[in-house]
Amino acid sequence: MVRADPMPLAFSYDASMAKRVLHDKYFRQAKREGYLARSAYKLMEIDDKRRVIQRAGRVLDLGCAPGSWLQVLSERVGEKGTVFGVDLKGVSHEMPANVRTVRGDFTELDPAGLIESLDGAQPRFDGVFSDMAPDTSGHGDDFMSARLCGEIVDRLPMLLRKGGHCVMKVLEGGGTPELIKRCKGCFEEAKPLKPRATREISKEIFLVCKRYRPPSVPARERRQAGQPAPVPGWNTGGASRPGGGGR
């Protein structure tokens, strides 16, 4: 008879306990430091390690509610920077003056409309950040997540400036290798990172893509050739300053 060795069991119990303690640590730290969610520490770690948030930059936060990434982005771009957030849900917490939010489905909003609503000469963002997560069903979540990231990559020519950076959350699975391959084709660097604040059992990773190389074909021609045609929304959706009626 084969006897089970109790050591591995004892070890894995300790490891999961340690992870739980770590999770609680980030939860408590977020409360103490005034962040709306522990996800704030994921973005901080990503930026500390990969330097993706540009000081005084204009950045887009996709799936921004309840708002902890907005808080981190606002701090790190500083007073001279601007943060635009989009989410299906409203952002109810009051945000700093350099943050604007709009409520809506990212895939149905018109990137051109958003760009038009920006002031200034540079008609693209310096960084695009996505913590979006599709509703999980337990079946094919990884593919839905990769597809949502694909929707972002489709729109980058209209959203991200040459040399800009992009961070996307994706649930690791069947669609991930193709997504990474695609990102490697349009960024100088595209590497996954799993921050410490992400639970060990979670399938989420962050694809950190640096220095965008936009395709040479203009966006309008790509749209005519069958790329997704954006529908109006950014302007009519009411981009606004939270605290002044922002949703």
Say what the alpha-carbon torsion angle 39, 193, 171, 112 is, to the nearest 10 degrees.
80
For tokens 């000469």, the residue is 121
Q: Does 39 bind ligand SAM (CB under 6 A)?
A: yes
Q: Considering only residues 57, 63, 195, 230, which one is a binding residue for ligand SAM as defined by CB under 6 A?
A: 63
Q: Considering only residues 83, 132, 158, 166, which one is a binding residue for ligand SAM as defined by CB under 6 A?
A: 132
* Segment 178 to 217, residues that bind ligand SAM, using CB under 6 A: none
Nearer to ligand SAM, 54 or 130 (CB): 130
Distance CA 24, CA 197 (A): 10
For tokens 């310096």, the residue is 126
Buried b or exposed e, range 121-152, using 16+ CB within 10 angstroms = eeebbbbbbbbbeeeeeeebbbebbbebbbeb
Q: Considering only residues 53, 59, 60, 68, which one is a binding residue for ligand SAM as defined by CB under 6 A?
A: 68
Nearer to ligand SAM, 29 or 163 (CB): 29
Distance CA 106, CA 91 (A): 15
Q: Considering only residues 26, 41, 84, 106, which one is a binding residue for ligand SAM as defined by CB under 6 A?
A: 106
**Nearest partner of 179 among 194, 163, 168, 193, judged by Cα:** 168
Asked if residue 235 lies in contact with residue 161, where contact means CB atoms within 8 angstroms, the answer is: no
Distance CA 115, CA 160 (A): 10
Q: Considering only residues 26, 30, 37, 113, which one is a binding residue for ligand SAM as defined by CB under 6 A?
A: 37
Where does this chain touch ligand SAM (CB under 6 A) — which range of 82-90, 158-166, 172-180, 227-235?
82-90
Is 169 designated active site? yes
Q: Considering only residues 26, 69, 187, 234, which one is a binding residue for ligand SAM as defined by CB under 6 A?
A: 69
Number of residue whose CB is nearest ligand SAM: 63
In total, the chain counts a number of residues equal to 247
Nearer to ligand SAM, 28 or 89 (CB): 89
Provide, rounded to whole angstroms, the least separation between the CB of residue 91 and ligand SAM. 8
Active site (catalytic) residues:
169
- Contact positions toward ligand SAM, by CB under 6 A? 36-37, 39, 63-69, 86-89, 105-107, 131-134
